[in-house]
A and B are shown apart, each in its own frame.
Chain A
Amino acid sequence: MVTFELNGQIKSFHIDQGEFLIDTLRRHHVVSPRRGCDTTSCGVCTVLIDDQPMPSCALLTARVNDKKVTTVEGIADFAAELSAYFGKEGADQCGFCNPGIALSVYAMAQTEENIDDDTIRHYLVGHLCRCSGYVSQTKAIKAFLEGRK
């Protein structure tokens, strides 16, 4: 049994000791963390643990006991606002990587200062995207963060 705060609500789940967070979440219908690579290389399974992005495919669920877990469902307004900028830049394609990116952008906005293109490219390096070529994403994120100032 593990108990953690999931998107603002305290939840308890029965788990296997060797189970990974992505499997627990998906089994309980939180599907925004997606399975992409199995090797912590792609970023599509990203969740925030105590506001820090981490790959949920590598995180034992038992270890997030008492922690705060945020998926994109927990930052819905932020994600919706970001998506408008993705739309404006044509940065949306298959979208499989988008929820993970939204979470990292959320964390980045809280921890980094004077965010420019380089900050974004460095911060998002762990989010692979095979569709967009990245530049439109970076532009959208920059415009979004400027819009929030």
Chain B
Amino acid sequence: MKTKMATVNQPHASKDGKGIMMGRKAYTDDLAPADALILKVLRSPHAFAKIKSIDTKNALKIPGVECVLTHKDFKRNAHTRAGQGYPEPSPHDKFPIDEYVRYIGDEVAVVAAIDEKTAIKAIAAITVDYDVFTPVTDFEKAKNNQTLVHPEDGIYEMFPIGFDPKKNLAAGYHMEVADVEKTLKESDVVVEESFYTQAQAHVMLEPHTVNAQIDYNDRLVIHSATQTPFHVRRIISQVLEVPLSKIRVIKPRVGGGFGGKQAIHGEILAAKITLLTGKATKMVYTRKEVFEATYTRHPMRLDLKIGATKDGKITAIDCYGLSDTGAYGEHALTVFMVTGSKVLPLYNKVDAVRFHGDVVYTNRTPAGAYRGYGAIQGNFALESIIDMLAAKLNMDPIKLRQKNMIAEGETSPIFEIMGEGTEGTAMYMETCKLDYCLTRGLKLSQWYHTYPRKVHGDKVRAQGMAIAMQGSGIPYIDMGAATIKLNDDGFYNLMVGATDIGQGSDTILAQIAAEGLKTDLENVAVYSSDSDLTPFDAGAYASSTTYVSGNAVYKAAKEMEKMLLKEAARVLKVDIDAIDFDGETFKSKDDEITLKDLSNQLYYNDEQKQLTATASYVGHKSPPPFMAGIIAIEVDKATGEFEVLDYTSVVDCGVPINPNLAKGQVEGGIVQGLGMAAYELADRTKNGKLIQADLLNYKIPTTMEIKTLTTEFAASYEESGPYGAKSVGEIGIDTPPAALANAIYNAVGVRITSLPITPEKILSAIKEKENMQ
């Protein structure tokens, strides 16, 4: 099973690190033609309105303005911007530009001009007459509201997802195992609480960027900072009615995605204007546009009930969820389902479990994909209520978890019932080192040294923890493919559809290829994510790249090795079985040939041919990575302020293909999760305007908030993964909200149930508690 690996499980540096650090041209904006028209979008100042009339005459008169397009210039093709497997489990409820505007920031018109200054001037010269409606801004009042966010015709679901726009419902879901209400009634102890999570922003440092041009073959070439180039190509083709064969989408280097670039953003507008004018176009979102007019995490309310016996066996979990998808239903159903399916199986020994609820439309910036989607919301609620249950049972929350959490070899009925938008896939946990993760985490963090708290005057030190699970791709839906090509001199090209968005997938996929071909990492040149030149891949989302794309690379490498052996056998005139290949030389009993010589012969001298191996992989299960996360904090009782002292993570992601990059995924996730847990406010005015719409006001963690991170991996080997790997892209983000809430409780005895957990909320809860005593 496990052998010492030469390239895999080694902490190689990212292949692209040096060039990026040195500032080489790499990102979409860097690669735009110098003469590209600059696109700017006029965005709605109203949360809900219908455009009565729009006058672009004055804008068009400005010298340097190429064109101004409004809803009248686009065919009304309903689509979803969500980059997902097709048919999408998201409603087709969006038009390229519509006569309705449904949130502050929605598109009204697009201008193309010779430079930014001219485009901005033209935007200001457009006059619009709106019929302004009262918006639906409170998601708890959206269902069956008399105001309909989508009153129009021509929108639809691709298959039943609970879409009912006449009730402001983008999606809905219900599942139940056994009789939850009855089981709760019969339980010794029941705890009940509602939890609220906010519309976290992705804040990838590179804003959404696209450029488009027509190449000399008369094809539309789009460079886009996207996580899903193949989905982008398909959606553009559908919306603009251009044959797929006429479109090439290239993903250059991407400056972070986190799910925020999983949907299409400016691509349709850039493509349309390039097709219309024949000229190159470029669109770079301003940071304000990124905040107001891309999408956010789905804000949710989760109503949880949990029952247990006196001795701490959890009997039932009941979760009603209400999710706010904003103006459009991108990922509405899938995020919602994952809120249950990637959380509830953590406690798989319950007698009954229910998960149900609604995803509602409101007149706010849409919600969409975001690292750890659903799981982080669900984890905050469930892992908070587990500590609440422990308090009520007067039991150590660690012991309560150990008694009830999922273990290796076990399963949960939820895996089969719930997938992402469809039914799920039954699976047993062939690797689950959760118990080790927890025990090791307690040791590393010296949990019982502090637990429950240490008080020094106003300052209280405490820790809090949570466990989590994620997935590794979407089984039977998302496919990844890889092609390996042999070159003269014996070096390889690895071509993958998989999308490196900064997480290092080019590097780890090259490591898998190098391991399979027994060669050095330097001998594998990677090219990724070009819809013309690389094989298909669903994209960088759902923690799929290492497991799904990695398996495709593994298979392709094995295939290439077979081809090489066949050629070597021919040259050495022996059977394939008689050859020993060490990555550099093919040896038979009496003879040998180097890979270098063989590949040169294959190009130039004898039985010339190009060796290319392509393999595809689609998962038949989605083995979850697991982790235990423990936060150490110091709270100031008098002000509610707190400092994060350390975050300990022990993660089971199978064999980390690259321990350094896997650590980067975990630690980056932890800090982003801490942002959601503690700092990132996303409030709206009554009129639906986002208050924190720039980085002066929307605060993500800085170097000063993050002091130490303690990160380890459990020894684990997932048979179905490439070289034993599971995925690791999202698991890191899940635990911080609940861990922080639990730490605050351990420190000062108050339970914060809405995110972010601010000093003000903590102090107010402390005062309330004091007043009650």
Contact = CB atoms under 8 A, between A and B. Distances in A.
Indicate yes or no for A touching B, C-beta below 8 A: yes
Given A125-B704, A127-B703, A130-B672, A93 B256 contact: yes
B583 interface: no
Interface stretch (B9-17, B149-157, B185-193, B443-451): B9-17
B369 to A, nearest CB: 16
B502 A94 contact: yes
Contact of A90 (B26, B664, B708): B664
A32 interface: yes
B667 A135 contact: yes
Nearest to A135: B709
Interface string B12-49: 11101110111111110110000000000000000000
A98 B24 CA distance: 11
Contacts of B702: 125, 128, 134
Contacts of B25: 31
B452 interface: no
B237 interface: no
B144 interface: no
Nearest to B703: A121
Interface stretch (B92-100, B199-207, B404-412): B199-207
Nearest to A97: B205
A83 to B, nearest CB: 4
B20 A44 contact: no
Contact of B21 (A36, A82, A130, A138): A82
Contacts of B284: 35
Contact of B17 (A86, A97, A135, A138): A86
A95 B22 CA distance: 10
Given A83-B18, A95-B17, A121-B704, A31 B23 contact: yes
Contacts of A109: none
A8 interface: no
Contacts of B596: none
B661 interface: yes
Contact of A94 (B501, B671, B696): B501
Given A129-B205, A134-B671, A39 B703 contact: no
Contact of A93 (B116, B668, B695, B708): B668
Interface in A93-147: 93-99, 102, 120-122, 124-125, 127-138
A83 B192 CA distance: 51
A31 B703 contact: no
B18 A36 contact: no
A129 to B, nearest CB: 7
B258 interface: yes
A89 B694 CA distance: 31
A26 to B, nearest CB: 8
B18 A90 contact: no
B503 interface: yes
A128 B205 contact: yes
A72 to B, nearest CB: 4
A75 to B, nearest CB: 9
Interface centre among A16, A41, A121 (most CB of B within 10 A): A41
Interface in B681-712: 694-696, 700-704, 706-709
B14 A87 contact: yes
Interface of B: 11-14, 16-18, 20-27, 29-30, 116-117, 202-207, 253-256, 258, 284, 286-288, 501-504, 658-661, 663-664, 667-672, 694-696, 700-704, 706-709
Interface of A: 16, 23, 26, 31-32, 34-39, 41-42, 44, 71-73, 76, 79-80, 82-84, 86-99, 102, 120-122, 124-125, 127-138
- Please name the 8 residue pairs, one residue from A and one from B, whose CB atoms are nearest each other, closest first: A87-B13, A94-B502, A32-B23, A90-B660, A96-B255, A95-B20, A133-B667, A41-B695
